[in-house]
Amino acid sequence: MRIRVLCFAHLRELLAPAVVVELSSPATVSDLWSTLREQGPTVSECTTSGFPYNDCRMLLRLAILGLSMLLTSAVAQDAPNPSLYPHIPVQRNAQSQAKSDSAPTISVEVKLVNVFTSVADADGAPYANLQKEDFRIFEDGVEQTVAVFERESGLPLSIVMALDTSMSTQKDLPLEIASARKFARTILRPVDAISVLQFSTFVSEVLPFTNDEHRLETALTHLRHGAATALYDAIFLSARALDRRKGRKVIVLITDGGDTSSSTSYQEAVRAAQISEAIIFPIIMVPIEADAGRDTGGEHALIQLAHDTGGKFYYASLLSQLDDAFHQISDELRTQYLLAYYPAKRVGGDFRSIKVEITAQARQRARRELYVRHRAGYYNSKIE
């Protein structure tokens, strides 16, 4: 008998290679467990890819539970009834359905949902003194158990800096470049990377992901102006680039807020950002607050984008205001909480809503009003 046990995770990418177990038939559960216990290197690979050792062991135990039911109900016949253990999806590959003597495949899918959470007081200052028990997290209204908790997350940070180079921002571009340079020098650590996109009539990648400050400096001197503003295309392409990255993902948008030429809709841009788990921080350039040409509709769209992805929007018209916005973004990224959970509910549509709350006891200890920001939810599908 040949049994394949597959383990998958959400953000942490592939947990480990498939565990392939060879057993003589008939096999017992104890035979299976003894064989799996010999798969020590596989469990080690789980931990080196960033997933807790105990959770990897839990996955193997879950697989054993499913396999034990399979073995005790005539392996060569039908798969076990999923209603007996709904949290263990069981499927058979195409060959096993076509040939009764083929080995069944048990796929144990554990979707770890990561929620990067920012907490600030009424003045906007980050609040970093909370513990795991101070949070409650809900998916579609159902409370979940926090499986992973980290403060000031040390996970790698991938940042896409998307700069509006349309004619409407021409006079502001030198200020944006100067402030972006300061931000990059402040935020980047050896494990982090930054990419630069420019968008006007079209979107182009000026700099792929790098940690090299000299390459960043060079890229920022090669920005070119265009006539229109493909803002939503820039968000979509930024999200697609980040979808392949690991760790925390951030899009910093510097624009005056108006989209005039995108082939991507606002809804498609939001969906792509949420699928990639990108946090969006728009910096809206408003030279004259009462300007008749100001695109308030575009500004409101950016504000909603920030809200839906767990980010925050800023207004700026001077270099000092740009510097302050970048400084606040940097502070927030250094003081985020990571809450992660395995969804207890496996039914419903493609989109799952998320809500994070701080307990009343924690608020009393803080002796101040606390505000929580996080992404509004996640999609089970991928970016097309």
- CATH number for position 246: 3.40.50.410
Q: For residue range 21-30, what is the model confidence (pLDDT) as tens digits?
A: 444 444 444 4
Q: With beta carbons less than 8 A apart as the criterion, state whether 185 and 272 touch.
A: no
One domain, residues 218 and 245: yes
Higher pLDDT residue, 173 or 252? Answer: 252
Mean pLDDT of 350-374: 95
One domain, residues 19 and 79: yes
One domain, residues 169 and 310: yes
Q: How far apart are CA 80 and CA 60, in angstroms?
A: 18
Number of domains in the chain: 3
One domain, residues 178 and 42: no
pLDDT value at position 250? 97
Q: How far apart are CA 347 and CA 372, in angstroms?
A: 27
Q: Within a domain: residue 384?
A: no
Q: For residue range 268-285, what is the model confidence (pLDDT) as tens digits?
A: 999 999 999 999 999 998
pLDDT value at position 248? 93
Domain of residue 345 covers 113-152+336-379
Least confident of 17-21, 43-47, 219-223, 374-378: 43-47
Q: For residue range 149-164, what is the model confidence (pLDDT) as tens digits?
A: 998 777 899 999 999 9
Q: With beta carbons less than 8 A apart as the criterion, state whether 196 and 215 touch.
A: no
Q: Within a domain: residue 169?
A: yes
One domain, residues 224 and 310: yes
Mean pLDDT of 279-295: 74
Q: Please tell me what DSSP assigns to residue 135.
A: E
Give me the helices (H) in 188-261, please.
213-220, 231-243
One domain, residues 346 and 318: no
pLDDT value at position 289? 53
One domain, residues 284 and 311: yes
pLDDT value at position 348? 65
